[in-house]
Amino acid sequence: MMGQATTQACACGRVDGKGRPLSYAQCCERFVAHFDTTPAPDAEHLMRSRYSAFVHENAAYLQATWHASQRPATLDFDAGTRWLGLSVKDFKVTGEDRAEVEFVARYRIAGRAVRLHERSRFVREEGRWFYVDGDQL
């Protein structure tokens, strides 16, 4: 997934000030590829980079950014999943080290379109944001 993917539009759909899509290299790659040195600066960046990691099936990054209390032991990707896009609806700082992100992620699996609408909770520990859990809306 490295290489050509870096110049393509980032899967998370972030655009620059002129509405042009950012490339993966300009956007989520620096977090996904360098979690140990470049943690996502806030919960929205983490949310977006985790979506990109799902698209790129990067289990290591998803595990690393999952809060230890909720982290699954293993992560399986459904081979037939085609991710269609992410839309961040709301980003709210709810405490000094807490934040919530509401998003809609769309994907297609086995010919069926799925719309995942979730409000996710994030915590920051020792300067790093982690996904805790979320409520489906």
H or E element, residue 22? none
Sort strands 98-109 and 112-125 into parallel, antiparallel or unpaired: antiparallel
Sole binder of Zn ion in the list 2, 8, 10, 69 (CB under 5 A): 10
H or E element, residue 94? strand 82-95
- Is position 27 an interface residue for Zn ion (rule: CB under 5 A)? yes
Nearest to 33 by CA among 67, 78, 1, 79: 1
- Is position 28 an interface residue for Zn ion (rule: CB under 5 A)? yes
**Binding segment (CB under 5 A) for Zn ion, from list 46-54, 58-66, 71-79, 91-99:** 46-54
Q: Which is nearer to Zn ion, 14 or 56 (CB)?
A: 14
- Is position 40 an interface residue for Zn ion (rule: CB under 5 A)? no
**Binding segment (CB under 5 A) for Zn ion, from list 5-13, 60-68, 92-100, 122-130:** 5-13
Count the Cβ atoms, other than its own, within 10 Å of residue 33: 18
Q: Do 24 and 7 meet the contact criterion of CB atoms below 8 Å apart?
A: yes
Binding site for Zn ion (CB under 5 A): 10, 12, 14, 27-28, 48
